[in-house]
Chains A and B, each alone.
Chain A
Amino acid sequence: SYELTQPLSVSVALGQTAKIACVGNNIGRKNVHWYQQKPGQTPVVVIYKDGSRPSGIPERFSGSNSGITATLTISRAQVGDEADYYCQVWDSSSWVFGGGTKLTVL
């Protein structure tokens, strides 16, 4: 079965840029979605289909996807961006989630 690998945690200084990787076999050929989940809340999509941003999501959130790595980039990180982030793809009639990355803003 298809697997997506994310780092368990990423730290970023306030106002700096955070990058969260999602690694999977030929993931560059798939559409990748990214979800943000804050404590006690349901997940919210922040990037869909690699790099598109839903309405209401700040432009500070962007995504890219190539080769074996998809990347969620959060520019000018804020304390309010602290959350767990999950990548997701559709593969062989199944949805697959990455294990999730906890973002800490220092």
Chain B
Amino acid sequence: QVQLVQSGAEVKKPGASVKVSCKASGYTFTSYDINWVRQATGQGLEWMGWMNPSSGNTVYAQKFQGRVTMTRNTSINTAYMELSSLRSEDTALYYCARGDIIVERPYDPWGQGTLVTVSA
């Protein structure tokens, strides 16, 4: 079945970086976009950006430009999201989700989420 499996929870200190992985299975990895969305506890969904796994092209939300980098390794069907200069406000659950901007397909499926905690 189509599935996205994310890496495990992370605890980081302020100023550090975190890299979350998202491994795709059950479909052709390069045929769909990978989006990253985060959700702080008790808060809403916040779009961070998307990547085309075929070309490697990316678009980042303005809020995260300069701090986020989205990459992929097509040989192992895995996408990555790296967020740098972490601060306490970055503590959140980070999701990857499959989409397709060409046809404006909704996100399906979503990864299970990766909890990133930023604490001194």
Residues in A lying within 8 Å of B, measured CB to CB: 1, 31, 33, 35, 37, 42-45, 48-49, 54, 84, 86, 88, 90, 93-100
Contacts and interface: CB of A to CB of B under 8 A. Distances in A.
Q: Would you call the interface of chain A mostly helix, strand, loop, or mixed? A: strand
B9 interface: no
Contacts of A33: 106-107
Interface in B9-54: 35, 37, 44-47, 50
Number of chain B interface residues as a range: 20 to 34
Given A42-B95, A88-B107, A100-B44, 5 more contacts: A31-B104, A45-B107, A90-B104, A99-B44, A100-B45
Q: Which of A42, A86, A90 has the most CB of B within 10 A?
A: A42
Q: Which of B35, B45, B59 has the most CB of A within 10 A?
A: B45
B76 interface: no
B120 interface: no
B108 interface: yes
B47 A97 contact: yes
Q: Which 5 A-B pairs have the closest CB atoms?
A: A33-B106, A100-B44, A42-B110, A45-B106, A48-B106
